[in-house]
Amino acid sequence: MASHSSKRPPSPALVPNPFVKKRNLQWTLQSPSSPAAQKDAPEEAQPTSAAIESGAALIADHLAHFTAHLSSHLSSSPPPLLSIPSYAELYRSNAGGVQGAHFVVHQHDHPVAGTHYDLRLQINSASSVSWAVMYGLPGDPNSRRLNRNATETRVHSLWNHLIETASPQTGSLLIWDTGTYSILPRRSKHAPREDPSSPPGSPCSNNTASTQQALLQAAFHNRKIRLRLHGARLPDPYVLNLRLTKSEDASGRAKSLRTPRTRRRRRAAEAAPPETSESEGEGEATGVEDDGHDTHVVPAGEQADPAAPVSALERELRELEDEQVRRTNAYPGASNSIGSVHQRRWYLSLDRPACGFVEQSCGGRTVWELPEPEGSNVGEPCSGEPAQGNEEAVRLKFPFYVRGPEYERSVVTGRRGDDILRDEEVTGFVRRLGWAPVLN
């Protein structure tokens, strides 16, 4: 049988199918990777900042995303203290290495946990330890309430330092201040008083042989941290003491081993007890229980629906992830290399001598005052920002007070919490009442 090198041409007597429309004969098939298919495909919607913050969406370049996002939401009056390029370079120069010492203070107006301020310090190339401080950082050396409760929360990924966003479930998250930190040596009772204005490398400055991450880890394990924050908003110098007692250490470790209980919302028939000064004082004593990511509370207006359509695989993955987070005290992507314990309560206070204050007698009582001249605490404009003539766009000076979401502005965008809620198109957010600033 002879072989044919090509197919036989169609017969001229072939009759077309009368049931096939002519326009259907013009159809073509294109692979998904073809240029025409890519041109006709709809553009994929970018995930929201709230979805990224909650872990519901994953992106490759957090710095590029948040730099572009915050650049489109800048306040013109007053101008922000820290420009977007400076904000990006600050993060870029600290992320990904053992020399990094990045910090951020977030104002978090949470509908369940209430208003609090999250202090986060970089502990390795990609993670940060976190404390929730209910009333913000102290700024009055003569305040009657010098101490703050600082409650350990989950270890976060370092890219969380970039976030400024809002959602109905988590409220608004605002960058109150950001910069770098340094760990100062513990003071001895017999050592001469340290000069806070001494430059790095001087005899009175901290030992620079170790990295700040290593110094922080050593101080963290000793339960006594002397922390200097080099921020865009805080006075310079600004030094804090973080202290963990042995009893609080033992109590926090025991609490972290307990199996968490799910607390359900009270029935509508049960009237909530009225808020009193005693209940407010109790909140101050216990601090903020959590930073909102894993609060086992059904928010007001919502009820847990056990019949919600959740697949068995998704339910199992959630349970495994929650168990992993509880076991390591770190969110996915973060590494708890410092040994942080969830909800362990520290005590935070202003280091008055290290901030430049001296004791003086005034009217039969002792007060702390800055010597004359005040030096760098006299409201200097933040570096990199043309802030002359605008009192709101200058570095804080002592005494200062943290006044809450209705007053405080972002150091990066100049927005208040309500501005962020509006820009993120959040509706239905209900602020928890009862928070009041410390003004004495």
CB 351 within 8 A of CB 239: yes
Kindly tell me the sign of the dihedral angle through the C-alpha atoms of 171, 73, 91, 51. Answer: positive
Rg for the chain, CA atoms, rounded? 28
Angle (CA) 287-289-292 rounded to 5° is: 125
CB 135 within 8 A of CB 438: yes
Q: If you average pLDDT over residues 175-202, what whole number do you get?
A: 72
**Helices 62-71 and 84-94, packing angle to 10 deg:** 170
Pick the range with the lowest mean pLDDT from 179-183, 203-207, 215-219, 408-412: 203-207
Mean confidence (pLDDT) of the chain? 80
3-state helix, strand and coil shares in percent for the chain, rounded to the nearest 5: 25, 20, 55
DSSP state of 162: G
Q: If you average pLDDT over residues 210-221, what whole number do you get?
A: 96
DSSP state of 212: H
What pLDDT, in 10s, does the model give residues 17-36?
777 676 666 666 666 666 65
Pick the range with the lowest mean pLDDT from 36-45, 324-333, 359-368: 36-45
Two structure tokens written together for 401: 């007070």
Residue with the bigger pLDDT between 211 and 76: it is 211
With cut-offs at 50, 70 and 90, classify the pLDDT of residue 231. Answer: very high
> According to the model, what pLDDT value does residue 255 have?
87
> According to the model, what pLDDT value does residue 114 have?
94
Which residues, in sequence order, are bridge partners of residue 362?
A: 365
**pTM recorded for the entire structure:** 0.75
pLDDT higher than 50, residue 320? yes
Instruction: Respond yes or no on whether the N-terminal peptide bond of residue 78 is cis (omega within 30° of 0).
Output: yes
- Domain extents for the chain? 48-187+210-256+325-370+394-426
With cut-offs at 50, 70 and 90, classify the pLDDT of residue 379. Answer: very low
Q: How far apart are CA 190 and CA 434, in angstroms?
A: 44
What pLDDT, in 10s, does the model give residues 266-314?
554 444 444 333 333 333 333 443 444 433 333 333 333 444 455 566 5
CB 118 within 8 A of CB 106: yes
Residues above pLDDT 90, as percent of the chain: 56
Two structure tokens written together for 183: 């760990």
Q: If you average pLDDT over residues 33-47, what whole number do you get?
A: 64
Q: How far apart are CA 204 and CA 60, in angstroms?
A: 43
